[in-house]
Amino acid sequence: MTGDVLVTGIGVVSGFGLGVDAFWDGLVAARDACVPAGIPEAPDARVARVEGLEARRWVRSAQGRRIDRTSLLALAAARLALDDAGTAPEALQSSRTALALGSAFGNVQETAAFLDRIFDRGTGNPMLFPNLVMNAPLSYAAIELGTTGPSAMVTEQDASGEAAIAWGARQVAAGGADVCLAGAADELATELLTIGRETRTASDAEPCVGEGAAVLVLESAARARERAARCYARLVPHAGFGVAAPVHGWPAEPSELARGLAPLVADVSLIVAAASGEPVLDELEAEVLALALAGRRAALTAPRRAIGRFGAGGALAVAAAALAIRHGMVPPIMGWPAARTRGLDVVTGAARPASVRDVLVDGLARGGVCRPLRLEAA
């Protein structure tokens, strides 16, 4: 690691709408993007859909006409991020621009459609197949934006966004790229609603499943200075660590995660958590942060409750952290009783004005993964 990595642009598409302002305004106003799903398969399910995402607004190439929704979410966020950074795609030096995208599940809907045709007719649809590979969003974004530097599709369950952003930041820090578009996307598939339904107990609240994408423009300090770019924050990636946990679930025991996170939360004023409303995670994370903070005070928030939970949600948590620094404001979380009962400083109700200088996104994920990222006022 050598140079500083700055966040100079943010693009978000979420249940709050298109663009970083819609996202931030929704969070700060404590709105809930979740609405009844209105589908027979899951009558009481709630979802946070991205509305009004039309391919023709974001796609320029002929190949892009067949783009899938996950790739489109990522592409829209990437274009919005470049706009926000005041950089046209044509202004990027292609071989010095990296691309890092994360997704937990990729293209679920077209995968199901492809399988239906295989079982009905015995053959695959050649037009759909290119969209089914996990790296389709990466490929479409590179073609649309003309980036030819290093690229990676990273998948790490709930921390897919944090993992992709960390990879991208390392490319810039190590000098392999001047700019990296880094973020994550996941689509809302009807199939995803069944997960919560199959695993929750009767007393649990109905979970809200969301979709969306966030992409950050990560830029070397030298390039940002040269073009007098506006800067949200400095991004300090962490290599991440693992702890003992069920392969498919959350660790039963908080102490290892707390030990790993303790040095990272020692001086931050805000923690953007994974807390999604999933009871097991909300309990565990509250316990982990209480142990890691050991009585220290830091504000806690998380966007996943408002925009629904989805694998790429961590990228939107990173966006929220950068925006909190920029605006001097901590958006509220829509309740997190497990954290409140442990005496943690959970920001609820209304947004809280605060001078936010150092933030940790804790990056917890199933399977015992922790992919934390730190953001600092630049």
Of 17-76, binders to other proteins (CB under 8 A) are 63
Using a 10 angstrom Cβ sphere, with 0-12 exposed, 13-18 middle and 19 or more buried, the burial of residue 41 is exposed
Enumerate residues 6+ apart whose C-beta is below 8 A from 94.
146, 147, 148, 149
Select the span of 75-83, 188-196, 200-208, 297-305 touching other proteins (CB under 8 A): 188-196
CB of 245 to other proteins, least distance (A): 7
The burial of 349, by beta-carbon neighbours within 10 Å (0-12 exposed, 13-18 middle, 19 or more buried), is given as: exposed
Q: Pairing state of beta strands 46-48 and 212-220?
A: unpaired
Q: According to CB under 8 A, which residues from 337 to 376 bind other proteins?
A: 366-369
**Whose Cβ is closer to other proteins: residue 146's or residue 279's?**
146
Smaller CB distance to other proteins: residue 180 or 356? 180
Considering beta carbons, is residue 155 or 276 the nearer one to other proteins?
155
- Does 311 sit near other proteins (CB under 8 A)? yes
| Span interacting with other proteins, options 42-50, 154-162, 212-220, 221-229, rule CB under 8 A | 154-162
Taking CB under 8 A as the criterion, which residues in 94-153 touch other proteins? 94-95, 99, 104-106, 108, 111-112, 114-115, 118-119, 121-126, 129-136, 138-140, 142-143, 145-153
The minimum distance between CB 130 and other proteins, in angstroms, equals 4
Q: For the chain, give percent helix, strand, coil, nearest 5.
A: 40, 20, 40
The smaller minimum CB distance to other proteins, of residues 45 and 330, is found at 45
170/326 with CB nearer other proteins: 170
Is there binding between residue 315 and other proteins (CB under 8 A)?
A: no
Q: Report, in Å, the least distance between residue 212 CB and other proteins.
A: 17
Sole binder of other proteins in the list 86, 242, 279, 335 (CB under 8 A): 242
Among 59, 243, 274, 293, binds other proteins (CB under 8 A): 243
Rank residues 274 and 325 by Cβ distance to other proteins and give the closer one: 274
Q: Is residue 249 a contact partner of residue 216, using CB atoms and an 8 Å limit?
A: no
How many residues line the site for other proteins (CB under 8 A)? 73
Minimum distance from residue 350 beta carbon to other proteins (Å): 35
Residue 247 burial class via C-beta count within 10 angstroms: exposed 0-12, middle 13-18, buried 19 and up: exposed
Rg (CA), the chain: 20
**Helix or strand or coil: residue 5?**
strand
Tell me: does residue 263 bind other proteins (CB under 8 A): no
Q: Which of residues 197-216 bind other proteins (CB under 8 A)?
A: 198-199
Strands, E assignment, the chain = 5-14, 17-18, 35-36, 46-48, 97-102, 151-154, 179-186, 208-210, 212-220, 233-237, 241-242, 270-272, 299-301, 329-330, 345-346, 352-353, 358-361, 364-365, 369-370, 373-376
- In this structure, are strands 241-242 and 369-370 parallel, antiparallel, or unpaired? antiparallel
Q: How far is the CB of 327 from other proteins (least distance, A)?
A: 31
SS3 292: helix
Q: How many CB atoms lie within 10 A of CB 376?
A: 16
Contact (Cβ atoms closer than 8 angstroms) between residue 218 and residue 179: yes
If the CB atoms of residues 23 and 250 are measured against other proteins, the closer one turns out to be 250
User: Which residue's CB is nearer to other proteins, number 111 or number 348?
Assistant: 111
Listed in sequence order, the residues at least 6 apart from 167 whose beta carbon sits closer than 8 Å to its beta carbon are 100, 152, 154, 182
CB of 259 to other proteins, least distance (A): 11
* Residue 352 contacts residue 225 (beta carbons within 8 Å): no
194 lies in the binding site for other proteins (CB under 8 A): yes
Tell the smallest beta-carbon distance from residue 172 to other proteins (Å). Answer: 14
Min separation Cβ 351 and other proteins, Å: 33
Which has the closest alpha carbon to 250: 281, 272, 220?
A: 281
Q: Which is nearer to other proteins, 259 or 340 (CB)?
A: 259
Is residue 193 a contact partner of residue 209, using CB atoms and an 8 Å limit?
yes
Does residue 154 interact with other proteins by CB under 8 A? yes
